[in-house]
Amino acid sequence: MDGKEVESFLAASLADLKMTGSERHALADYLNTHARNAQDKGVVRHLTFELARRAFSNQNDTKILEWMEEVLKVVAPIQSNATAPDMAPDSAYFSPGDECLQRIIRRFQLVKKHADLCVFTITDDRISREILEAHGRGVKVRIISDEEKASDTGSDMRQFTDAGIPIKLIRAVSADGRDGHMHHKFAIFDGLRLVNGSYNWTRGAANINYENLVDSADAGMVQRFSAEFNRLWAL
């Protein structure tokens, strides 16, 4: 099944408001063969919700939700003996694609008390919205960024400043007086999680570049990066 065939398959399953055993097996076989990663499964998940949304106006809501639940049990089964992705000690993500972006967004959705960001440049408005939403619900956000990049077209530093988020802009200078950059790309969430890697918080990093991102709960790593953040914040 290709994308169109998947949509037709799901639509046919929804038509009688049931997901039969044979339909579950067919969907599972398709995912095992064609869904290479969580992003591919996310496409199927999106189609499921989209079909359900279209049907809400003229079908019984409860039965539709029951159908959706059966689909999602196949697409994203609950693994009771495995560590949930959001709680896994360490995980790695790569771009191009949405893996890195979605992991950063997820961290902002989960953060409770404070987030310290030390990022070369932030221009991806999808991430910026999550930063602003976290700040709006009371999360204490601090941002360190590169002084030169903050004035680039597309930089979201002004939005953060206008929202009342504390910002520290840094211009690195070498021992012999040459200008450099504050080139870090890391963030610490609630003093418990570290997100770090080559991934710039830009659309280019998501859509074009080969980048990496590591999400870690290693206490030693979190402590070292927190110390670096505080050192730079005190400059």
Tell whether the torsion through CA atoms of 213, 215, 218 and 223 is positive or negative: positive
Q: Specify whether 34 is catalytic.
A: no
Average pLDDT (67-94) is 68
Considering the candidates 124, 184, 185, 215, report the single residue annotated as catalytic: 185
Q: Specify whether 184 is catalytic.
A: no
Give the pLDDT of residue 177. 79
Considering the candidates 113, 183, 184, 215, report the single residue annotated as catalytic: 183
pLDDT per residue as tens digits for the range 116-173? 999 999 999 999 999 999 999 999 999 999 999 998 888 999 999 999 999 999 998 8
Q: Specify whether 181 is catalytic.
A: no
Higher per-residue pLDDT: 154 or 196: 196
DSSP one-letter code for 122 = B
